[in-house]
């Protein structure tokens, strides 16, 4: 369907730009009208929360992290069904495994602290999954790997921000524990993309 593909390519390009643009966090990761830059001025803390206290920044990071896990799991499942190369299928499988684990950890933590647990990826993430699913063959592999490269760059930045500026010790630990996993995912996605171009 060449016409559809002509439409989708620029859409997907916009998407990647939206993911990587300054202040795109709320757009890319959640429905909140606030973003981390706002929190930086209003909610950055001096790390003195007790184990049962949390800042608005902590809450937003944890909820976005859960939405991100749901996004990665659905994307990884899609890649296992639709990718044409072993590398991209393996990337999808690995993302499902690791993000299923981090979803469990983050959900338990949110429930303990009384933070809402999102039950689906953000609307923008759902749209991205629908958009990438329109590609087939090597085009799919390329767009999926490219999406995961950009997404994990953003995820790493957000997790580091939580480590640096978060308040609740357990949420900050969760972010810190996520960082090496996210960096490995970025490397895997970059390798998969490089093998296709």
User: Quick check: 185 binds Fe ion (CB under 5 A)?
Assistant: yes
Residue 16 or 44: the one with the smaller Cβ distance to Fe ion is 16
Report whether 62 contacts 77 (CB < 8 A). Answer: no
Q: Which residues are CB-neighbours of 60 under 8 A, at least 6 positions away? A: 30, 32, 34, 36, 39
Residue 58 or 98: the one with the smaller Cβ distance to Fe ion is 98
Q: Can you read off the two tokens belonging to residue 77?
A: 């499942």
Which residue's Cβ has the minimum distance to Fe ion?
A: 185
Residue 43 or 185: the one with the smaller Cβ distance to Fe ion is 185
Please identify which residue in 58, 59, 146, 151 interacts with Fe ion, judged by CB under 5 A: 151
- Min dist CB 93 to Fe ion, Å, is 12
The window from 34-42, 84-92, 133-141, 155-163 that contacts Fe ion (CB under 5 A) reads: 155-163
Residue 87 or 185: the one with the smaller Cβ distance to Fe ion is 185
CB < 8 Å & 24+ apart, contacts of 44-47? 44/165, 45/165, 45/166, 45/167, 47/166, 47/167, 47/172
- Min dist CB 53 to Fe ion, Å, is 27
- Min dist CB 73 to Fe ion, Å, is 10
Element spanning 98, H or E: helix 86-113
Nearest CA to 75 among 153, 30, 129, 12? 129
Contacts (CB under 5 A) with Fe ion, residues 57-86 = 68
User: Quick check: 29 binds Fe ion (CB under 5 A)?
Assistant: no
Q: Which residues are CB-neighbours of 197 under 8 A, at least 6 positions away? A: 142
**Cα(85)–Cα(165) distance, integer angstroms:** 40
Please identify which residue in 58, 59, 141, 155 interacts with Fe ion, judged by CB under 5 A: 155
Report whether 158 contacts 39 (CB < 8 A). Answer: no
- Min dist CB 58 to Fe ion, Å, is 18
The window from 1-9, 124-132, 166-174, 183-191 that contacts Fe ion (CB under 5 A) reads: 183-191
Site residues for Fe ion per CB under 5 A:
68, 151, 155, 185
């Amino acid at each position: 369907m060449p016409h559809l593909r002509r439409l989708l390519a620029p859409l997907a390009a916009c998407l990647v730009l939206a993911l990587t643009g300054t202040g795109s966090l709320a757009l890319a990761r959640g429905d909140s009208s606030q973003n981390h830059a706002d929190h930086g001025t209003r909610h950055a803390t001096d790390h003195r929360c007790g184990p049962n206290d949390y800042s608005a920044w902590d809450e937003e990071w944890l909820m976005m992290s859960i939405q991100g896990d749901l996004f990665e799991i659905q994307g990884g499942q899609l890649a296992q069904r639709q990718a044409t190369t072993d590398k991209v299928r393996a990337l999808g499988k690995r993302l499902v495994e690791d993000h299923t684990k981090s979803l469990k950890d983050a959900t338990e933590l949110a429930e303990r602290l009384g933070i809402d647990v999102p039950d689906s990826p953000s609307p923008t993430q759902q749209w991205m999954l629908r958009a990438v699913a329109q590609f087939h063959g090597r085009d799919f592999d390329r767009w999926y790997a490219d999406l995961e490269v950009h997404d994990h760059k953003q995820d790493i930045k957000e997790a580091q921000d939580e480590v640096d500026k978060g308040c609740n010790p357990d949420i900050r630990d969760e972010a810190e524990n996520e960082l090496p996993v996210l960096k490995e995912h970025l490397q895997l996605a970059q390798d998969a993309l490089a093998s296709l171009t």
